[in-house]
Amino acid sequence: MNRAGEPLNLQSNKKPLIILGAIGLILFLIIQVFPSITTDTAEVEAPELITKTAAAEAAERFAQEQLQYDTASDEEPLVTYQTRSDVYGYLSKENLLKEYNKTFESKYPYDVYRVRFEKSDGSALNVDVHMQNGTITGFMYDRIGSSYEGAMLQKDEIQRQWLLLIEGGMSLSEKEALAEPWLQRSGYERSELELVTGEGDPGLEYKVPEAKIGDSTLQLNFTFEDRQLRSYEPAFSVPAAHTTYVEKQTTNATLLTFLGSGLFTLILGVLAIVYSIKTRAYTSFKRGIFLSLLLFVIQMLNTYNLIPVFQAEGMSDAGIKWMMIFYVGYSLVFSALLYFSLVGGSGLWHKEDGLNPWPQAKEPGYGKYVLESMKLGYIWACILLGVQSLIFIVLGLTLNTWSTTDATQSPFNMLYPWLFPLMAWFAGISEEAVYRLFGIRMVKKIVRNTFVASLITSTIWALGHTLYPIYPIISRPIELIIIGLLFSYIFLRFGYLTAVFAHVVFNSILMGYSLMLMNDPVNLWMGIFYIILPAIVGYVIYRFNSRSRKRLSYF
């Protein structure tokens, strides 16, 4: 990191770093990339993926021919990605994914396209379509004035009574009569199945004894409403012990996220305001405005991009509008946190240590400084990807770490998936400002030790990521504390801009790769574009500040 008032200089011996970066990139390709595109354990086999349009057409044919459902509407059907994360998680935890994919996935997938046909009266039909072969895997009606979803939120006996009331007092034989045609269409004889539901129980459930993997068995589930068939969804069961474990882990993850992203980060935000004022003689309140506005725009674009997720959850147009209004307020608060972290962090380092962690464009050599920061960012990103890959291996061997799917975080559920990697810039700019530029120096005032301060802020940062579907939940904090300490070293050694570039490139490679897996030419090229975008930004700033008197001082 440069001293305040001295010429900008970002020289380092890149040769050993380049060697480490090459090793890291190779490890990333071997451990994370190649397995996902060469084995059948990937979530989605990209080369065989059908389009959403094809899924909608398959669902429309099924609705018209098999359900005699009129799909005519002024609006296009909503097509979203849905996943049985509980089933996938159990298979992943027990190392049964490969066996399942070979035996059952072609007929009973855990990942589907859900096509929703809505009527003007508020009713709807949801049809699940296999993402690779286009077959129909289940369907569900949303009837006018239905209380079914509300009943499912109840517990035990109250839920049971609600469901029986919604069914309309159907007998078991009546339910079986409605289910019989669908059993035949699925290729099952009644004699092959084991009836699980008893007289007086809600719904109807059959077990297929021959279809079993681990402790999971195929179940054919039917629900009813107003004495009519409401849904047919074949799916593998999930052992109760697994469900209980995940629920407990999720509760703990929610608490840790509240502490990390909520309480502790809020405290840092309040302190950033205080020290922005206390160090105003050593900093500038003009800087940081552009980056804060940029992050506000990115966060709002991301929220808008997630509208299909809200729609898939049944949220009304009015509900979506209120959700957008809420996120406007939330984004403004977060942008303010970033702004004061930039101002207060720069002031603290300057006042307390005489250091210049975030140089200004008016300083001589700024253009070259940014260019070198970008180059180092790419090298360190490759190193970090290799370290992350090794951490995954170690966590798998020691904690039996496993992960599952999450439809709410999938690019398949975004209006414009190619906007998704913009969040790499959001994370890199904001997190390096809050937890490194301001956080380390602020905490160091209390603990008087740079490493301990880096460890504390890295822990706070890591806790904010525990709601990712990775188990046991301690796995993610362990990974990110190590990664956070490396980001801290990058910041302390090279400054804020290098840390930002390293963070942005690191995330852009991961997010860009997720776009490439979508088996779409536009997203393939956009994934590549986002990976090289930091280089473009760094070079543009370098050229502009080398030739123009009016310098780019935003970054």
Calculate what percentage of the chain has a pLDDT beyond 90.
Answer: 76
Residues in CB range of 265: below 8 A, 6 or more apart: 337, 434, 460, 464
Please tell me which residue, 545 or 289, carries the higher pLDDT value. Answer: 289
In this structure, the strands spanning 194-195 and 204-213 are antiparallel
- Report d(CA 112, CA 395) in Å as an integer: 30
- Residue 223 clears pLDDT 90, i.e. is over it: yes
pLDDT digits (tens, 9 = 90+) for 409-445: 899 999 999 999 999 999 999 999 999 999 999 999 9
The whole-number pLDDT of residue 41 equals: 41
The whole-number pLDDT of residue 550 equals: 54
Calculate what percentage of the chain has a pLDDT beyond 70.
Answer: 96
Angle formed at CA 514 by CA 50 and CA 408, multiple of 5 degrees: 80
CA 361 to the chain's CA centroid: 35
Question: Using 50, 70 and 90 to split pLDDT, how confident is the model at 555?
Answer: low
Residues in CB range of 405: below 8 A, 6 or more apart: 43, 83, 84, 85, 88, 89, 110, 111, 469
pLDDT digits (tens, 9 = 90+) for 202-212: 999 999 999 99
The whole-number pLDDT of residue 119 equals: 86
- Report d(CA 181, CA 145) in Å as an integer: 27
The whole-number pLDDT of residue 16 equals: 94
Angle formed at CA 540 by CA 535 and CA 541, multiple of 5 degrees: 100
- Report d(CA 50, CA 170) in Å as an integer: 39
- Residue 121 clears pLDDT 50, i.e. is over it: yes
- Residue 357 clears pLDDT 50, i.e. is over it: yes
- Report d(CA 26, CA 151) in Å as an integer: 51
| DSSP element (H, E) containing 151 | helix 148-152
- Residue 64 clears pLDDT 90, i.e. is over it: yes
DSSP 30: I
Residue 60: CB atoms within 10 A of its CB come to 17
pLDDT digits (tens, 9 = 90+) for 244-266: 999 999 999 999 999 988 889 99
Residue 458: CB atoms within 10 A of its CB come to 24
Please tell me which residue, 517 or 85, carries the higher pLDDT value. Answer: 85
Q: Which two tokens stand for residue 96?
A: 């049964």
Q: Which two tokens stand for residue 413?
A: 């559920």
Phi, psi of 79 (to 5 degrees): -115, 120
- Report d(CA 359, CA 466) in Å as an integer: 33
- Report d(CA 206, CA 228) in Å as an integer: 18
- The overall average pLDDT reported for the chain is 91
Task: Report the phi/psi class of residue 134: left, alpha or beta, with left for phi > 0 and alpha for psi in -120 to 50.
Answer: left
The whole-number pLDDT of residue 45 equals: 43
pTM: 0.91
Q: Which two tokens stand for residue 13?
A: 């011996």
CA 320 to the chain's CA centroid: 20
- Report d(CA 358, CA 1) in Å as an integer: 9
Question: Using 50, 70 and 90 to split pLDDT, how confident is the model at 551?
Answer: low
Among the ranges given (1-10, 242-251, 460-469), the one the predictor scored with the smallest mean pLDDT? 1-10
Q: DSSP per residue over 172-215, as a string?
A: HHHHHHHHHHHHHHTT--GGG-EE---TT-SSEEEEEEEEEETT
pLDDT digits (tens, 9 = 90+) for 32-41: 998 876 654 4
Question: Using 50, 70 and 90 to split pLDDT, how confident is the model at 506?
Answer: very high
Phi, psi of 159 (to 5 degrees): -60, -45
Residues in CB range of 494: below 8 A, 6 or more apart: 1, 10, 12, 373, 376
Task: Report the phi/psi class of residue 554: left, alpha or beta, with left for phi > 0 and alpha for psi in -120 to 50.
Answer: alpha
* Burial class of 548 by CB neighbour count within 10 A (0 to 12, 13 to 18, 19+): exposed
Q: Which two tokens stand for residue 50?
A: 């059908």
Residue 364 near residue 7 (C-beta atoms within 8 A): yes
Candidates 448, 445, 477; CA nearest to 460 is 477
Measured between alpha carbons, how far apart are the two ends of the chain, in Å?
16
- Residue 6 clears pLDDT 90, i.e. is over it: no
pLDDT digits (tens, 9 = 90+) for 133-180: 999 999 999 888 888 878 887 888 888 899 899 988 899 999 999 999
- Report d(CA 338, CA 433) in Å as an integer: 7
| DSSP element (H, E) containing 219 | strand 216-225
The whole-number pLDDT of residue 68 equals: 92
- Report d(CA 311, CA 443) in Å as an integer: 42
Mean pLDDT of the 519-536 span:
93
Mean pLDDT of the 294-303 span:
95
Question: Using 50, 70 and 90 to split pLDDT, how confident is the model at 553?
Answer: low
The whole-number pLDDT of residue 440 equals: 97
Q: DSSP per residue over 459-507, as a string?
A: HHHHHTTTTSSEESTTHHHHHHHHHHHHHHHHHHHH-HHHHHHHHHHHH
- Report d(CA 355, CA 495) in Å as an integer: 10
